[in-house]
Amino acid sequence: MTLTKKPESRPAAASWGLSKRGIPWEYAPAPESTDHVEIRREYGLFIDNAFGPSRPKASFEVINPATEERLSRVAKASKADVNRSVVAARRAYETVWSRLPGSERAKYLYRIARIMQERSREFAVVETMNSGKPIKESRDVDVPLAAAHFFYYAGWADKLDYAFPGRTPRALGVAAQIIPWNFPLLMLAWKIAPALAAGNTVILKPASTTPLTAYLFADVVRQAELPPGVVNIITGPGEIGMELVRHPDVNKVAFTGSTAVGKMIGRAVAGSRKKLTLELGGKAANIVFDDAPLDQAIEGIINGIYFNQGEVCCAGSRLFVQESVYEPLLDKLKARLSTLRVGDPLDKNTDVGAINSAGQLAKVAELVQSGIAEGAEIFQPDCVLPEKGFFFRPTLFTGVSQSHRIAQEEIFGPVLSVLTFRTPEEAVEKANNTPYGLSAGVWTEKGSRIFKMVAAMKAGVVWANTFNRFDPTSPFGGYKESGYGREGGLHGLGAYLDLSSDGRNGR
């Protein structure tokens, strides 16, 4: 860390910026180098291990949300391209991948994991430039976790017969996978690693704003010498995703994204024999009891909602504080919020980067306006935002009632709604008062209370005295409108296998 003295005349920012002797300071810029990264001017569709133009040829622009500058152009797939990718995946499945012993598939997965580790700086920089997330998050969370998923599922590839006692696991065939823009590489790994380990071949459609690490991954696929057609990556708008979902030769559909699109996909798949996993939105409750270690809880609250600019399906966007500690906690929270560094995502000191797109920024701003209009009290630190790019101040609302839109709707931005409760029963009732059920957090020193709360809350994942912890070995997924099926762990492997006794789910 470099400390830079500021001229005395400049107004001191937040108190965190004062040294013990009262001299104002701030972090000097610490930009990550981009020299080692090559982003091509154009990317074609990745089918059968080759990049090629869409047919008919069409493309769209991909920008850096922190600068609004163009990064590349990527091919826009047509219905015919969707068909080509499914044909390639089917051929690879029938002729190569389904015939390989699990131990051979495992070697490929290990190879991919190792290459991702070797190229981790490249992945982290491209991820940050394309998504807007801080480099310290892509470097320390997204990329290592993505590689960890490939390592983890490589370990299962030759042990399928032991993983599900009493069953005879069979691969499903061709998997169509649609992923969002908030964790582009990590979601790719959550989808592709278990699918390949289980013996399926895949077609992945990244979000239109964030396809670049997927195409970098395509390079890794070639470097690892995967047989052609095992992994195919196509880009295009939502309709192309739907073409993929509807394709008759697809056996499995895995989707992460909004609840609205998830419902459409659910309807499109209904009545077919396609196996479906939906990982949708959330409005998680983060509950702080009066016996919780407050300083630790503050870090968990901050991480819970401002990590990745709050663009996280399991973000702790509703904070419930026991009334007796409301005031001290709020004071600490506001002070901590004021220390967050918002700005250039490539700067290693940045805590909150850019919102992924102009559209998402407008959505966040609109919901924040609704919070003000409905009578909640807004607090935002006094930080200076970059002039270009899609930035939004970390925001906190108090005086929020449960009926406010900011307490009900998924904002998917750095916006926290603070509510209070008196008893554990009231906390549970309020926490469960949402159409979603993806995640939750509990802060208390009592183990028995943790177990009681975990059992009572309708959420697929509940963290105790921590938040936003991920591990390839533990399943992740939701209840209610947060979707169904699990990703990660053995459950995530089972989602790519036919475990029925009569082969009902297979071809």
Q: How far apart are CA 483 and CA 503, in angstroms?
A: 25
Q: Which residue is nearest to ligand NDP (CB)?
A: 238
- Supply the minimum distance, in Å, between the C-beta of residue 71 and ligand NDP: 16
Residue closer to ligand NDP (CB basis): 280 or 333: 280
Q: Are strands 50-52 and 174-178 parallel, antiparallel or unpaired?
A: unpaired
- The residue from 13, 92, 116, 178 that contacts ligand NDP (CB under 6 A) is 178
| CB burial readout 134-159, b (16+ within 10 A) else e | bbbbbbebbbbbbbbbbbbbbebbbe
State the burial class of residue 3 (Cβ atoms within 10 Å of its Cβ: 0-12, 13-18, 19+). Answer: exposed
- The residue from 65, 199, 281, 304 that contacts ligand NDP (CB under 6 A) is 281
**Which span sits near ligand NDP by CB under 6 A: 36-44, 139-147, 261-269, 344-352?**
261-269
- Supply the minimum distance, in Å, between the C-beta of residue 365 and ligand NDP: 12
Whether residue 383 lies in the annotated active site:
no
- Supply the minimum distance, in Å, between the C-beta of residue 357 and ligand NDP: 8
**Which span sits near ligand NDP by CB under 6 A: 21-29, 48-56, 74-82, 172-180?**
172-180
- Supply the minimum distance, in Å, between the C-beta of residue 143 and ligand NDP: 18
Task: With H, G, I as helix, E, B as strand and everything else as coil, classify residue 258.
Answer: coil
Residue closer to ligand NDP (CB basis): 264 or 294: 264
Residues in the chain: 507
The count of chain residues that interact with ligand NDP, using the rule CB under 6 A, is: 26
**Catalytic position from the list 279, 311, 481, 487:** 279
Q: Taking CB under 6 A as the rule, which mask of x and - marks residues 411-430 in contact with ligand NDP?
A: -x------------------
Q: Running DSSP on this structure, what letter comes out for residue 65? A: T
- Supply the minimum distance, in Å, between the C-beta of residue 204 and ligand NDP: 10
- Supply the minimum distance, in Å, between the C-beta of residue 444 and ligand NDP: 28
Whether residue 279 lies in the annotated active site:
yes
Interface of this chain with ligand NDP, residues 69 to 98, rule: CB under 6 A: none
Beta strands (DSSP E) in 140-246 are: 170-171, 174-178, 201-205, 231-233
Q: How far apart are CA 431 and CA 408, in angstroms?
A: 11
Residue closer to ligand NDP (CB basis): 238 or 399: 238
Per the structure block, which two tokens stand in for 343?
């700005």
Q: Are strands 231-233 and 201-205 parallel, antiparallel or unpaired?
A: parallel
| 3-class SS string, 388-400 | CCCCCCCEEEECC
Query: What are the DSSP calls for 409-467, one per residue?
Result: S---SSEEEEEEESSHHHHHHHHT-SS--SEEEEE-S-HHHHHHHHHHS--SEEEES--
Sign of the dihedral defined by the CA atoms of residues 408, 413, 419, 425, in that order: positive
Query: Is residue 134 close enough to count as binding ligand NDP by CB under 6 A?
Result: no
Interface of this chain with ligand NDP, residues 229 to 258, rule: CB under 6 A: 237-238, 241-242, 245, 256-258
State the burial class of residue 239 (Cβ atoms within 10 Å of its Cβ: 0-12, 13-18, 19+). Answer: exposed
Residue closer to ligand NDP (CB basis): 75 or 261: 261
Interface of this chain with ligand NDP, residues 185 to 224, rule: CB under 6 A: 205, 207-208
**Catalytic position from the list 313, 314, 410, 481:** 313
Interface of this chain with ligand NDP, residues 349 to 368, rule: CB under 6 A: 360, 363
Helices 212-223 + 184-197 axis angle, to 10 = 40
Q: How far apart are CA 12 and CA 25, in angstroms?
A: 8
Q: What angle do CA 207, 208, 211 make, to 5 degrees?
A: 75
- The residue from 141, 226, 231, 280 that contacts ligand NDP (CB under 6 A) is 280
- Supply the minimum distance, in Å, between the C-beta of residue 5 and ligand NDP: 41
- Supply the minimum distance, in Å, between the C-beta of residue 136 and ligand NDP: 21
Per the structure block, which two tokens stand in for 242?
């739907």
Beta strands (DSSP E) in 156-240 are: 170-171, 174-178, 201-205, 231-233
**Which span sits near ligand NDP by CB under 6 A: 47-55, 173-181, 386-394, 460-468?**
173-181
Name the amino acid, one letter, at 245: V
Q: Taking CB under 6 A as the rule, which mask of x and - marks residues 304-333 in contact with ligand NDP?
A: ---------x--------------------
- Supply the minimum distance, in Å, between the C-beta of residue 424 and ligand NDP: 28
Q: What angle do CA 24, 30, 35 make, to 5 degrees?
A: 165
Residue closer to ligand NDP (CB basis): 161 or 239: 239
Per the structure block, which two tokens stand in for 80?
């015919």
**Which span sits near ligand NDP by CB under 6 A: 10-18, 143-151, 175-183, 382-390?**
175-183
Residue closer to ligand NDP (CB basis): 82 or 383: 82
**Which span sits near ligand NDP by CB under 6 A: 61-69, 91-99, 259-267, 269-277?**
259-267
Q: Are strands 59-63 and 201-205 parallel, antiparallel or unpaired?
A: unpaired
Rounding to the nearest 10 degrees, give the CA dihedral for residues 214, 216, 217, 218: 90
- The residue from 44, 173, 180, 371 that contacts ligand NDP (CB under 6 A) is 180
Catalytic positions: 279, 313
Q: What residues line the site for ligand NDP (CB under 6 A)?
A: 178-182, 205, 207-208, 237-238, 241-242, 245, 256-258, 261, 264-265, 280-281, 313, 360, 363, 410, 412
